[in-house]
Amino acid sequence: MNRKKHVILVGMPGSGKSNMGFFLSKLMRMPFIDTDYYITVKEQKSIAKIFAEHGEDCFRKIEQQILLEIIEKDPSVIATGGGMPCFYNNMDIMNEFAVTVYLELTPEKLFEHLKTDTKRPLLKGKTGEELTDYINISLEQRKSFYEKADITIQAYDKTPAQLATELVKNISGFMANMTQ
């Protein structure tokens, strides 16, 4: 039985999951959920504060609980935190309950998007060189998880609205193939 009722966006921090997800949800007339925002509201704490006060392991546990909670909801477009697919069996859960989409961006483009970031705890205080290393290393470690997604879309040189329009077509094509 096909249990894929959501659309879940995965990819590195800075790949544009939240911006694009918002546009996609409007086009698909589905609610939009951003897992980081959802966690912030539920825990009444910023992601940075959760990392600082409880550590990354605790954040990853909360992240999985949230994923299990969200997949029970009505069909939604869900933008995930960059690490979510890479812990526990999260990517397999996502693939079971959603059409998954990897927003792929080159390390150079990710650097452009992240170099002025002040909010993400894993990037805090990094020099330009350290950020480049972090992006290259984590992309290498995470790629195999992201690449399990049903659809991969190149996310550069397009606005979130253009990407969302392109993706609606890809998702319909994917769904049509699945039901054949």
Amino acid code (one letter) for 73: K
DSSP output for 14-26: TS-HHHHHHHHHH
3-state secondary structure string, 137-156? HHHHHHHHHHCCCCEEEECC
> Binding segment for ligand S3P among 20-28, 67-75, 115-123, 126-134 (CB under 6 A)?
115-123
Q: Count CB atoms within 10 A of the CB of residue 97.
A: 20
- 121 touches ligand S3P (CB under 6 A): yes
> Binding segment for ligand S3P among 22-30, 76-84, 145-153, 168-176 (CB under 6 A)?
76-84
Of 8, 9, 16, 81, the one binding ligand S3P by CB under 6 A: 81
* β-pairing verdict for 77-79 and 6-10: parallel
- The interface with ligand S3P within residues 129-148 (CB under 6 A) comprises none
Of 5, 45, 54, 120, the one binding ligand S3P by CB under 6 A: 120
Contacting residues toward ligand S3P, per CB under 6 A:
13, 36, 47, 81-83, 120-122
